[in-house]
Amino acid sequence: MSASEIRIASLAEGVNPLAFEVGGSDLRLSADDELTLDRPLTVSLEIVRVEETLDIRGRIQGTGLVACSRCGMDAPLEIDLPFRLIGQERPETAPEDVESEDLVYHDGDSLELGETLREIVLVSVPMAPLCKEACKGLCPGCGVDLNLESCTCGERPADPRWNKLSELLDRDGER
Ligand SMILES: [Zn+2]
Ligand SMILES: [Zn+2]
Q: How many angstroms separate the alpha carbon of residue 34 from the centre of ligand 1?
A: 15
pLDDT at 64 over 80: yes
Q: How many angstroms separate the alpha carbon of residue 152 from the centre of ligand 2?
A: 6
Do 21 and 56 reside in the same domain of the chain?
A: yes
More confident residue, 165 or 4: 4
Do 166 and 88 reside in the same domain of the chain?
A: no
**What pLDDT score was predicted for residue 55?**
97
Give me the number of domains the chain comprises.
Answer: 2
Q: How many angstroms separate the alpha carbon of residue 68 from the centre of ligand 1?
A: 5
- pLDDT tens digits, 120-131: 999 999 999 999
Q: Which ligand is nearest to the CA of 128?
A: 1
79 domain-assigned: yes
**What pLDDT score was predicted for residue 59?**
98
User: What is the rounded distance in angstroms from the CA atom of residue 8 to the CA atom of residue 12?
Assistant: 9
Do 89 and 67 reside in the same domain of the chain?
A: yes
pLDDT at 173 over 60: no
Do 141 and 74 reside in the same domain of the chain?
A: no
Q: How many angstroms separate the alpha carbon of residue 21 from the centre of ligand 1?
A: 29
Q: How many angstroms separate the alpha carbon of residue 40 from the centre of ligand 2?
A: 38
- pLDDT tens digits, 68-116: 999 999 999 999 999 999 999 988 876 666 557 789 999 999 999 999 9
Average pLDDT rounded to a whole number, residues 131-158: 86
* Domain ranges, residue 157: 136-175
Do 22 and 73 reside in the same domain of the chain?
A: yes
131 domain-assigned: no
Residue 90's alpha-carbon distances to 35, 53, 81, 87, 96, in angstroms, are: 31, 10, 26, 9, 11
Task: Find, among 3, 20, 28, the residue nearest to 122 by Cα.
Answer: 28
Give residue 94's Cα distance to chain centre: 29
More confident residue, 139 or 99: 139
113 domain-assigned: yes
29 domain-assigned: yes
Do 75 and 27 reside in the same domain of the chain?
A: yes
- pLDDT tens digits, 12-38: 999 999 999 999 999 999 999 999 999
pTM: 0.79
Do 103 and 143 reside in the same domain of the chain?
A: no
Do 46 and 88 reside in the same domain of the chain?
A: yes
